[in-house]
Structure 1
């Protein structure tokens, strides 16, 4: 059973999310909070009771304390906490801040119910999760980094298939979209992404995409350029 904490300032939305999630046999809503400050307090109480949330669904714009600050405080105090940001605001600034402070994913509130449930399961399993177009927008709006003479060794070590997957990550494709395009299973794509993160020594697909963005000529090449 995956324990979920709901953080949302609009009660009617919170009730709707709770009703939706409780239709899933493997999901259990163990607490609710109407702002970031209450969310921090709830997490402290749940950890003290040895029933910490497995995943926190965190809204961004809330009174008293917003979701970005709550994410920062929760992840600082409880580093293992997995937070999935859920909001109506498709804003790269909020995404970047939430991810920087430790959030594991970012979805819009109009995400279909089954996709939301699957995103919670994915976050719980240790993967990152981004709604359609969100990662692409985040990468596109990221400030350009100074171009280095050569890409880092880990980038040069990627196989042709891994570079292909990485190009699609930069474009904001989901695991399912990559799998369908390359005619591979989602499990195979997850393995490729895991290898990419290990080779690049980064923790998530956003960081991998940002590194790849810094070397577009190399990424677009059919094979790594010779030294």
Structure 2
């Protein structure tokens, strides 16, 4: 059996956390890695156990989820954060993307969607839920129509630029592999290189980067 995905939850509602824990423990490929009830505690938890995926509430005592996400990813850069939200505001989306969040999920999502999101993010993809996230990224990008800033991706190889543009459209690794006629492992390698070269923390930041530099519409 392959190594299980270690999942932690950060939320100040104890019953909500208990429900998530039960769902995670019910899955043979997942392992529950711990609970934190405020932003400071999740930073400590992440530093101690380095979960693969952290479900992060935005509103928490002491330190909010956006700030906690940024701090977690400094100390545990291999962890992936899914931001939990009860409603989507443009400011929250922008701040979460800037902090390095790998996806968004509504707190009232069905259990099967939550489980799919955990596995999807662990595989290196991003989760755009609610479905308006990409539209909001477009809205948050500079409104002035200018020529594409190709210099913004000058550090990338030709193949990396191709993968970058496909990822910026929200395609999954499997979809990029099919479109570019390469293997998914190669896609993952290119994505890692793209993030490193452009100093980005997540695929959501790739999307925002592309819109901010007018490389996609």
Is the shorter-chain TM-score for this pair beyond 0.5, marking a shared fold? yes
Q: 2:78 aligns with which of 77, 80, 83?
A: 80
Is 1:8 matched up with 2:6? no
How far, CA to CA, are the matches of 1:138 and 1:194 in structure 2? 28
How far, CA to CA, are the matches of 1:104 and 1:64 in structure 2? 23
Q: CA deviation at 1:209?
A: 3.3
Deviates more, 1:103-112 or 1:141-150: 141-150
Distance 1:25 1:65, change over 3 A: same
1:1-227 map, 5 Å: 1-44=4-47, 47=48, 51-144=49-142, 147-148=146-147, 151-152=150-151, 165=166, 170=169, 175=172, 202=198, 203=200, 204-213=202-211
User: Unpaired runs of 5+ in structure 2?
Assistant: none
Q: CA deviation at 1:78?
A: 2.4
Deviations 1:24-76 (A, max 9, x none): 111111211111112122223xx2xxx42111111111122211111122122
CA contact (8 A) 1:165 1:193 kept: no
How far, CA to CA, are the matches of 1:69 and 1:215 in structure 2? 25
Q: CA deviation at 1:103?
A: 1.9
Indicate the SS of the match to 2:114.
helix
User: Unpaired runs of 5+ in structure 1?
Assistant: 221-227
Deviates more, 1:58-67 or 1:207-216: 207-216
What's 1:224 paired with?
A: none
Larger radius of gyration: 1
Distance 1:210 1:8, change over 3 A: closer
How far, CA to CA, are the matches of 2:166 and 2:40 in structure 1? 39
Q: CA deviation at 1:130?
A: 1.8
Instruction: Give the structure-1-normalised TM-score.
Output: 0.69
Q: Relative contact order: is structure 1 or structure 2 higher (C-alpha 8 Å, sep ≥ 6)?
A: 2
CA contact (8 A) 1:197 1:208 kept: no
Indicate the SS of the match to 1:83.
strand
Distance 1:195 1:135, change over 3 A: farther
How far, CA to CA, are the matches of 2:38 and 2:91 in structure 1? 20
Q: What is the aligned-residue RMSD (CA, Å)?
A: 3.9
Would you say how many aligned residue pairs link Structure 1 and Structure 2? 206
How far, CA to CA, are the matches of 2:63 and 2:165 in structure 1? 41
